[in-house]
A and B are shown apart, each in its own frame.
Chain A
């Protein structure tokens, strides 16, 4: 069965990688504006989300450059990956 992820889980994963709180991720939304973000952190986020989704992010280039969490969730919604 296709694995899905909730918005809360996405916020938690991102917060853990950027060493902040989910509330802050929700508030700021733009990842590049969070203190610990850099291009390596972006890749960690994608890798962690892919692992959580059971390797479903086949075309990672589509989402590699997205730095808004809301946009990311919208893309996941379109791919039916949100719980």
Chain B
């Protein structure tokens, strides 16, 4: 876990060396690119919902998985973002977000414990993918750092809360939330392929 923490600190420090440029179409708070990144994440449900879903899943998977996700997800997000900074994408965002939510919601709803390596791998995949999309949106290195910091806080709070749940009904409530995410993702697929 210390290695993961060191990697996180190194990745965040590295962003200071990468020239960042705030995109004109992104949320501008007037407080600087770091806060623009935080606002972008908080106001972009396509990013926020999958992260919340993964935090729920990490919490249900136990403290070890939660700690791994806490570091892997922000680092992967940042890495993906840096990779995407100089690129553009034509990806079908709503359909991909729906697919991500469908998988994560199903994992939460089913409450299946997966090996920690698999959980960390899924976190890395989610982080790289969404981070890359953030990068192609020209969020800038500092903006990406803001996103990564917010991710860390969100995952820490949500996963820790879920880990702390002891009453059987409370875990069921989390699983119901997972089923809602599945329902949302199914509807989103309908929106993505809407007729007319």
Q: Do A and B bind each other?
A: no
List chain A positions with a Cβ less than 8 A from chain B. none
